[in-house]
């Protein structure tokens, strides 16, 4: 099982790790700062540095069959062997852009729910900071109202903070009305 260092510090950009498995899909490490894609959010890219050189990390994802966190490297790369140490480095600028987009989508989701009584049903984020959000109501009048509300809210620029809590604590939070 890979220790997901990003789960406790999303601003980590590098770490030392050791190869625990090599599969047809990619490389499994004992620890990583590379976030796996999922739920419409892209996985991290960057580099894996070994004694043999620098490998381009082209994607990070979870293997659906095994649950392993896979570090996919560029096709044709000479992959390290099990037990070999590697240095993981993510594209930090891209990660921060994706984090801002992710936070923005949460804010938008709250606006859509609170002001338009619509629920988010899906979405996707691009590498370039673009995003798409689907909701249960998309009439043109409602959509233009959302744009206006989002514009005024984003100009406000409220401070955001990161926090974590147990599922039990989360269930005690009041439901928005």
Residues 62 and 106 reside in one and the same domain? no
| CATH code assigned at 76 | 2.40.30.130
Residues 111 and 166 reside in one and the same domain? yes
* Count of domains observed in the chain: 2
Confidence of residue 23 (pLDDT cuts 50, 70, 90): very high
pLDDT digits (tens, 9 = 90+) for 32-65: 999 999 888 899 999 999 999 999 999 999 999 9
Residues 15 and 55 reside in one and the same domain? yes
Domain that holds residue 86: 3-90
Q: Residue 165 pLDDT > 70, yes or no?
A: no
- 144 in Cβ contact with 126 (< 8 Å): no
Which range is least confidently modeled, 39-48, 63-72, 144-153?
144-153
Residues 79 and 115 reside in one and the same domain? no
The per-residue pLDDT for 147 is 59
The per-residue pLDDT for 132 is 83
Q: Residue 176 pLDDT > 70, yes or no?
A: no
pLDDT digits (tens, 9 = 90+) for 109-134: 887 777 777 888 888 888 888 888 88
Q: Domain end: 90, 113, 134, which one?
A: 90
The string of DSSP codes covering 11-53 is: T--EEEEEEEEE-SS-EEESEESPPPPBTTBPPP-EEEEETTE
Residues 62 and 108 reside in one and the same domain? no
Average pLDDT over residues 68-93: 96
């Amino acid at each position: 099982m890979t220790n997901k260092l990003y789960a406790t510090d999303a601003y980590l950009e590098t770490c030392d790790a050791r190869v625990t498995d090599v599969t047809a899909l990619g490389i499994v490490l004992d620890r990583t700062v590379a976030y796996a894609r999922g739920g419409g959010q892209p996985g991290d890219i960057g580099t894996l540095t070994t004694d043999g050189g620098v490998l381009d990390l082209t994607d990070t994802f979870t293997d659906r069959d095994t649950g392993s966190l896979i570090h996919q490297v560029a096709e044709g790369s000479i992959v390290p062997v099990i037990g070999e140490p590697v240095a993981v480095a993510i594209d930090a600028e891209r990660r921060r852009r994706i984090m801002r987009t992710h936070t923005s989508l949460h804010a938008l989701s709250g606006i859509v729910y609170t002001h338009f009584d619509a629920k988010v049903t899906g979405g996707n984020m691009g590498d370039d900071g673009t995003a798409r959000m689907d909701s249960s109501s998309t009439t043109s009048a409602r959509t233009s109202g959302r744009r206006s509300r989002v514009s005024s809210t984003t100009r406000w620029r409220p401070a955001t903070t990161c926090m974590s809590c147990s599922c039990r604590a989360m269930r005690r939070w009041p439901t928005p009305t």
